[in-house]
Amino acid sequence: MNYLITIIGPTAIGKTSLSIALAQHFGCAILSCDSRQFFKEMKIGTAVPSEEELVAAPHHFIQNKSIFESYSVGDFEQEALTKLDELFQKNNVQVMVGGSGLYVDAVLKGFDEFPEIDPSVRAEINSKYDALGINYLQEQLNTLDSDYFQKLQTENPQTLQNPQRMKRFVEVCMGTRKPYSSFIGKRKNTRNFTSIIIGLEADREIMYDRINQRVEIMLNEGLLTEANALYPNKELNALQTVGYRELFDYFDGKTTFEFAIEQIKMNTRRFAKRQMTWFKRTENATWFDYAIDRTEIFKHIEKQLKK
């Protein structure tokens, strides 16, 4: 029996530290499931593990892609499952960690199956998007699948600003003449491992304080310089990310530096809140306070392994 210990929770809660402790305890590797830590150009602003942390345990899917590459959650699902098959041959316990809920779900549960869409539909949507912008996609989804639009608006509003995903939703609706949501939950994906899901949480004030401290650390480590180097490519999808967008506005002269930093902190806090909303829906997750004695988490996992 193979086991995948998955650590979930909001940003800056201590997931990396726990994952390393678990990997060392079980003598296994860590799969990163953070959709921005994949990109080698985005080291500081995505809080990539330090050099010391990276050598403390084998890591996979950390800075393995470029922002100039096309890389989807579906690509990650296939690569992660292939890597897990390889790792399970050496050790039947492995660790996965990350704050990107969609990417976690992709590995643990897989995706639903959608029909092939006529390329002409995609071309039409791309043309309309180029002319009308994200509002066109939002209006179309609201018209063609209002239930799913409202669900995103409530649970994951950031997705409504993601052109690639919004185009996909709309093209499925237009290409099949059915709501995108009608295809969700129909396919059963099998996995060759049992999931043990550990959630880390904290009181809101503590969580927000940790986020504010994280932002200050990033600034001290050179976030401004990193963002400035990426500024010429600010339109890339990978860079539509908290911590970079706000500094791009500063470089554009739209805000002051001080205001940009406060916006980073505020938007990161909002992001953490959305992460918790997503992760709290995770089935079979066991939640622990971030400051709990780790031996309690280890005992819980050992108990699950013996079942």
Which residues make up each annotated binding site for substrate?
Answer: 11-16
Give the residue ranges of the annotated binding site for ATP: 9-16
Residue 94 parent element (H or E) = strand 93-97
Give the residue ranges of the annotated binding site: 9-16
Q: Say how far residue 132 (Cα) sits from the centre of its chain.
A: 28
Beta strands 30-32 and 59-60, pairing class: parallel
Asked if residues 231 and 42 have their Cβ atoms less than 8 Å apart, the reply is: no
192 vs 283: CA distance, rounded Å = 18
- Which has the closest alpha carbon to 301: 203, 194, 201, 202? 194
Asked if residues 122 and 33 have their Cβ atoms less than 8 Å apart, the reply is: no
Asked if residues 40 and 66 have their Cβ atoms less than 8 Å apart, the reply is: yes
Would you list the DSSP string of 2-55? -EEEEEE--TTSSHHHHHHHHHHHHT--EEE--TTTTBTT-STTTTPPPHHHHH
**SS3 call for 68:** coil
Per DSSP, 153 falls in state H
